[in-house]
Amino acid sequence: MTDISGKVAVVTGASAGIGEAIARNLAEAGAKLVLVARRRERLEALARELGGDTAVLAVDLAEEDAPERMLAFVEKHFGRADILVNNAGMLRVGTFETFDLAEVRPTIALNYESIVRSSILFARTMKAAGSGQIVNISSIGAGITTAGTGIYGGLKRALESFTDVLRIELAGSGVRVGLVAPGTTGTEIFDDMKAHGQPGWDEFIPALEPEDVARAVRFIVEQPPRANMARVHVYSASEGF
């Protein structure tokens, strides 16, 4: 396994849930962290707890120029990024009859466009440096076709296709690209459903914990340079998809 001690790891959506768990896990492995999310107070509290070389960037990644600002911030503070984990995302569900069309563009901006932009920008700098690792957080929803999930699942499916192609384009460059597709995980992502009177998916089965997904991310980034772990699916033991 590769020692990632001293590596600079950028984690988006790091203020809670899976992102926070990934940041904690990579910090335990000795990585320097750049914590990215909208909620500065939470990021700063986590940074104080983690200690070490940890930087905080409060930004809304749905904004078009946010990925460029993120890269500039990382290069200013650490000079480079060795690991990028694109975790930030949102869940909006509904059938064609019930989906709020006002949510379409924000969902695309955060769940797809921001990850594409960040992946491309960081991939270019990593390729120039001759090494790097990009991990995009998808969902098992990318492979599930069920009423109400068309937009969320469709964007995750598009993200997986993009991630696979980026991996192929960077083959042999020293930059590795992979994805983690979690199953139902108990996080704030279901808060919007619950706020609208719907039960969250994490209420139907014993859900994964964020730490379960974080371990999968660490497994990917600790692979030796000769190995590229392209896809890791992590299901709850109670899911039968």
* pLDDT tens-digit map of 53-89: 999 999 999 999 999 999 999 999 999 999 999 999 9
Confidence at residue 152, expressed as pLDDT on a 0 to 100 scale: 94
- Asked if residue 236 has pLDDT above 80, the reply is yes
Residue 184: pLDDT band (50, 70, 90) is confident
- Asked if residue 118 has pLDDT above 90, the reply is yes
pTM score of the predicted model: 0.95
Confidence at residue 186, expressed as pLDDT on a 0 to 100 scale: 81
Average pLDDT value for residue range 157-185: 97
Residue 221: pLDDT band (50, 70, 90) is very high
Average pLDDT value for residue range 19-39: 98
Confidence at residue 171, expressed as pLDDT on a 0 to 100 scale: 98
Average pLDDT value for residue range 1-29: 97
Look over the chain and give the mean of its residue pLDDT values, rounded to a whole number. Answer: 94
Positions marked active-site: 152
Residue 129: pLDDT band (50, 70, 90) is very high
pLDDT tens readout for residues 148-168: 889 999 999 999 999 999 999
In order of their start, the domains of the chain are 8-234 (3.40.50.720)
**CA 200-193-85 angle, 5° bins:** 80
Instruction: State the SS3 of the chain.
Output: CCCCCCCEEEEECCCCHHHHHHHHHHHHCCCEEEEEECCHHHHHHHHHHHCCCEEEEECCCCCCCHHHHHHHHHHHHHCCCCEEEECCCCCCCCCCCCCCHHHHHHHHHHHHHHHHHHHHHHHHHHHHHCCEEEEEECCHHHHCCCCCCHHHHHHHHHHHHHHHHHHHHCCCCCEEEEEEEECCECCHHHHHHHHCCCCCHHHCCCCECHHHHHHHHHHHHCCCCCCCCCEEEECCCCCCC
